Structure 1
Amino acid sequence: MQIQPQHADYAAIRRAASEAEELGVDIAFNWDHFYPLYGEPDGKHFECWTMLGAWAESTSRVEIGALVTCNSYRNPELLADMARTVDHISDGRLILGIGSGWFEKDYDEYGYEFGTAGGRLDELADALPRIEKRLGALNPAPTRKIPVLIGGGGEKKTLKLVARHADIWHGFGDPEVVERKVKILDQHCADAGRDPSEIERSCGVQGEPGELGPKLRDLGVSLFTVGIGGPDYDFSLLRKWISWRDAENG
């Protein structure tokens, strides 16, 4: 699930993360923004990575991560060190989700250069090898190879980066859109000499699992993420997806 850290006090966010773990979710994500994405535009909101450090201590089983970290906001070497630190705090439960960034208000209000979509993707392409290099140089090393999740559906640049660097690809859209993206990702993997089965396919979901789940599963999607926002975190749809997952897994 994605616990969207907007329009809520932190105590409610912490309770939501604990409830998610108790319900049996596999991963609890937040997101990397400075302002709400919907509802009151200047409503309550909290920062991503300090929150992940707190979740690393307040949970014990569930994997945690950002869906996704904005590459523009932190030096790549610093981000690698932050990820390694949260990896150790959580005893190896961090997923490093990352993307090129898109929410212009965040950039303008916090003094980052927004630039162009293509320029931000070029910066992500430059950052990923630097992150990998720094993770390999840190002492102590991460507790495991930290899984890298890249979010986005850009067919020419983003999916090419997924083929080269990601352990998980996260996308959005109905099954027809996902089917097209998966085919393009598979081709990028072939071009890069990589086995596409090495990359887990993830998708944000909002519909009923009995109808949507099998269609996405047939396309190779194995990670389904339900997003919920504050102030009242409603777990009703998430519970349906957990029940469907458990039935599918026997």
Structure 2
Amino acid sequence: MTGRPVRIGLQLQPQHAGYRKIRETAAEAEALGVDIIFNWDHFFPLWGDPDGPHFECWTMLAALAESTSRVEIGPMVSCNGYRNPELLADMARTVDHISEGRLILGIGSGWCERDYAEYGYEFGTDGTRLADLARSLPRVETRLAKLNPPPTRKIPMLIGGVGEKKTLRLVAEHADIWHGFHDPETLAHKMNVLKGHCAAVGRDPGEIEISTGVFGTPSHVGRPDELGPRLRGLGASLFTVGIDGPDYDLKPLREWISWRDSQNG
């Protein structure tokens, strides 16, 4: 059981909708009391019409930084292979300032082959992409420390992924937040693996916030009052609801916010 308060995230998937609808949905979610609004870092829809409407991640985050005032924002997750690490750090610092300290820097090794192929990036293998991420994370951290002006705060680093040998080791070394999609049984196992990596690098696993996807595709679907306590008992405290355009049904988000409020008192 974690001592952290429950937080609710919304992954506002930037596909199959116009930007006005996306902006309006972000404003509605903020008014409902969501803690974090994430988008994602892809170039095409992941389901539905594969050539349907879609928008880019980081330019959208800069706009959301201006159109919101309270919620944290961030990518879930920025693909390491799409941007030079130093550039990514500078982009993150800039959005951090635009948002007045509300950015979470989510990052992962990448997986969507079409994005790589159509935008001219080398796809490589799971192993080479993870090796690239391992090299990039210290570069991001070093550049953030050199920028003038510096970030408004230590920008929280979220690492997405569930690989036990490499990804969870990087989580232990670098992450403030770890995100995956978990049923309770899987989370229990992964938490044991993460604790082992934390012990190996001399880090307290309690320093890492545990985030899990709880609605959408792909994710583990369940009622908040049934699934939430089970995941929370295993250490999760950030529960992120994914919603798809063009309509962006916020009903599941409302249910998870209501459950959060019942837990946090």
* TM-based fold match above 0.5: yes
Find 2:154's aligned residue among 140, 145, 152.
145
Matches within 5 A, 1:70-81: 70-81=79-90
Distance, in Å, in 1 between the alignment partners of 2:258 and 2:203 is 34
For residue 128 of structure 1, what is the aligned residue in structure 2? Answer: 137
Q: Which residue of 2 aligns with 1:35?
A: 44
Please give the residue correspondences for 1:1-250 in structure 2 after superposition, counting only pairs within 5 Å. Answer: 1-206=10-215, 207-250=222-265
Instruction: Supply the distance in 2 between the matched residues of 1:125 and 1:108 (Cα, whole angstroms).
Output: 22
TM-score by length of 1: 0.99
Q: State the one-letter code of the partner of 2:70.
A: R
User: Distance between the aligned counterparts of 1:168 and 1:32, measured in 2?
Assistant: 18
Aligned residue for 1:146, secondary structure, equals coil
Partner Cα distance (2:62, 2:187) in 1: 32
Aligned equivalents of 2:248, 2:181: Cα separation in 1: 21
CA distance in 2, matches of 1:249, 1:173: 22
In 2, distance between residues paired with 1:94 and 1:111? 28
- Identify the structure with bigger relative contact order (alpha carbons < 8 Å, sequence gap 6+): 2
- Normalised TM-score (structure 2): 0.94
* Paired AA for residue 240 in structure 1: E
Supply the RMSD in Å over aligned alpha carbons: 0.4
Question: Alignment length, in residue pairs?
Answer: 250
For residue 234 of structure 2, what is the amino acid of its counterpart? Answer: L
Give 2:6's aligned residue.
Answer: none
Tell me, what secondary structure is at the counterpart of 2:104? strand
Could you report, residue by residue, the CA deviation over 1:90-135 in whole angstroms, capped at 9, with x for unpaired residues?
0000000000000001001100010000100000000000000000
CA–CA distance in structure 2, aligned partners of residues 227 and 174 of structure 1: 16
Find the aligned partners of 1:236 and 1:55 in 2 and give their Cα distance: 21
Separation in structure 1 between the aligned mates of residue 29 and residue 122 of structure 2, nearest angstrom: 36
Letter of the 1:233 partner, please give it.
Y
Q: Counterparts of 2:251 and 2:27 in 1: how far apart (Å)?
A: 16
Structure 2 gap ranges (5+): 1-9, 216-221
Shift of 1:173: 2.0
- Report the Cα distance in structure 2 between the residues aligned to 1:138 and 1:222, rounded to whole angstroms: 31
Give the aligned residue type for 1:236. K
Identity %: 73
